[in-house]
Amino acid sequence: MSVIKSEIRGGVYYDSAVLMALQRSLADLPGVEDAGVIMGTPTNKELLVRVNLVTPEVEQAKENDLVIVVRAGDERAASDALQRVDELLSARKSSIQQDYRPRSLDGAQSMMPDANWVLVSVAGRYAAGVAREALRLNKHVFLFSDNVSVEEEISLKAEAAQKGLLVMGPDCGTAMINGIGLGFANKVRRGPIGVVAAAGTGLQQVASRIDQLGGGMTFGIGTGGRDLSEKVGGVTFLMGLDALSRDPDTKVIVLVSKPPSPKVADQVLRVARKAGKPVVVNFIGRTPISRRVGNLFFASGLDDAAALAVELVKNPPVLEGEPELPIARFAPGQKYLRGLFSGGTLAYEAQHLLTEYVPKVYANAPINKENKLKDSLVSVEHTIVDLGEDEFTVGRLHPMMDNDLRIRRMMEEAEDPEVAVIFLDVVIGFGSHPDPASELGPAIAEAKAKAEKAGRYLEVVAVCTGTEEDPQKLSHQIRQLKQGGAWVETSNEVAVRYAGQILQALNQPSEETQLIAAPVDLETLKKPVKALNVGLESFAENLTAQGAPVLQVDWQPPAAGNEKLASILERMKKLSSAE
């Protein structure tokens, strides 16, 4: 007949790794069938019920009680096991350094004032408090703990952003800073690739592949899986991206994420466009529309992202300067695009590309049926009309040969006070109008003049498809279009993306005026990692093994978990930090 014996210890706290180790050691003792070592939370107690490790004492245990239970073959074996608890606990302690362990972050701060990182892996309900303390001490935070509420995450990140500090997490599994791995991390060669990741194993996979492919890393900045959600708004991701953009040692940036909120992903990409260096993007679940947009390189997967980054380091691409957008010249209320196409495929491609910039584009020949214009003659919001469709060519020449209809429609659109951009394609070559720009150029000038007279600014973007050897001569066409005031490109994609960026800027909801983050001080990031570790001791041991100085904090929940006292202390702290 088995005997179950238990011991309850109040007011003590051990991290879960210690408890698990103790549990294993107890279970290994002679005569012991099973052992449980837990903090007395309701969930934990249920677990004990399931494995038949419950005594009346255990049922009475409170959340902050340490519960030790053993089930053994006989009374003697059970009591012997319980008696060895202290010995087993201290055996563990003595294998670690004998030096003094501070009991709090401020205690640790006085012992290692130049620590630049705090690793937090305590139970979720205490983690935000510890992280906040770390921010008060002006440290970057690696927040491994999970079960931190999204509200806490938002408030922590807001506080961090104000101070230019990174909160990596909550639930951040990994980070690599100057060749030192925090949390779960791989030993990766140092080199010129910087990664920002809202994906723990994603970061490990990319980092490992970079190393295997002969590349190396400056930083692997984890953000926690929720960072790119709409609520959190990508605070850490954007700060990390900004820091890597400014870091002279980072030549190529890689962005990795579990499926992000589309809105936040758009914002990240907008910022990434301005990084001034190649940025490889792999947002899982978001199919890239192009392989490359300016400095952005879209990867099809984690492995591809690593390979692309290594390749871009070897063969740096030529990055053209981004065109300046004439945003300030538009009048309030101008926000829509009207695309007047002669070519059907070009019109389709434009619709497709624009999905990256605006939510909905109406068309007479839509990719998506629900975007079909009710009346092809009347534009709605963003509209793309293919004037080469049959409905327009009945009894009339194709718009590649006859400009009349397009010019008339352009004049109409120019009158609309909500229109900001008119897009035209000019396709030359055999069979086309002998000199289309000779008519379109002056028409563009007139349309622009019309808008200007009404106190507006009209941007006309034209893509010119043809060659120098064509009868109409490409450069001749371009010159005339430019004379009319058009922005002219020879690539449909480049032209559409230029228009798309303008539209995106004009349609940005005002709520998106995001919190202004103070830039992360690069120097604090570039300094060798020196850390204070609160929680899992193995994280400290790993840092020691990597040669990074670390101080383990012998942390206990504030006021031993007494909520009334803890809340008074928290209010006092707020008072002090407000001072």
Using CA atoms of 300, 304, 306, 310 in order, give the dihedral in degrees to the nearest 10.
-120
Whole-angstrom distance, CA of residue 482 vs CA of residue 498: 16
The reply on whether position 103 binds another protein by CB under 8 A is yes
Closest among 276, 268, 214 to 237, alpha carbons compared: 268
Contacts (Cβ under 8 Å, ≥6 apart) of 42: none
Contacts (Cβ under 8 Å, ≥6 apart) of 276: 245, 295, 319
The reply on whether position 274 binds another protein by CB under 8 A is no
Shortest Å, Cβ 556 to another protein: 6
Residue of 97, 110, 300, 368 interacting with another protein (CB under 8 A):
110
Residue 209 parent element (H or E): helix 200-212
The reply on whether position 564 binds another protein by CB under 8 A is yes
Residue of 114, 320, 375, 579 interacting with another protein (CB under 8 A):
579
Cα angle 173, 218, 223 (rounded to 5 degrees) comes to 30
Q: Per CB under 8 A, which of residues 527..556 are in contact with another protein?
A: 556
Cα angle 494, 359, 271 (rounded to 5 degrees) comes to 55
Shortest Å, Cβ 567 to another protein: 9
Give the type of residue at 21: A
Residue of 16, 104, 371, 438 interacting with another protein (CB under 8 A):
104
Q: Mark the segment that binds another protein (CB under 8 A) among 306-314, 441-449, 520-528, 563-571.
A: 563-571
Q: Mark the segment that binds another protein (CB under 8 A) among 120-128, 257-265, 434-442, 568-576.
A: 568-576
Shortest Å, Cβ 93 to another protein: 13
Using CA atoms of 244, 245, 251, 252 in order, give the dihedral in degrees to the nearest 10.
80
Residue of 10, 11, 248, 285 interacting with another protein (CB under 8 A):
11
The reply on whether position 10 binds another protein by CB under 8 A is no
Q: Mark the segment that binds another protein (CB under 8 A) among 106-114, 169-177, 278-286, 399-407.
A: 106-114
Cβ atoms of 484 and 447 closer than 8 Å: no
3-state secondary structure at position 123: coil
The reply on whether position 96 binds another protein by CB under 8 A is no
Contacts (Cβ under 8 Å, ≥6 apart) of 43: none
Q: Nearer to another protein by C-beta: 3 or 559? A: 559
Shortest Å, Cβ 554 to another protein: 10
Cβ atoms of 66 and 9 closer than 8 Å: yes
Residue of 91, 411, 454, 565 interacting with another protein (CB under 8 A):
565
Q: Mark the segment that binds another protein (CB under 8 A) among 43-51, 255-263, 380-388, 564-572.
A: 564-572
Q: Nearer to another protein by C-beta: 1 or 578? A: 578
Whole-angstrom distance, CA of residue 309 vs CA of residue 441: 43
DSSP 478-504: HHHHHHTT-EEES-HHHHHHHHHHHHH
Shortest Å, Cβ 167 to another protein: 22
Shortest Å, Cβ 557 to another protein: 9
Shortest Å, Cβ 106 to another protein: 8
Residues that bind another protein (CB under 8 A): 11, 98, 100, 102-104, 106-107, 110, 556, 558-560, 562, 564-566, 568-569, 571-572, 575-576, 579
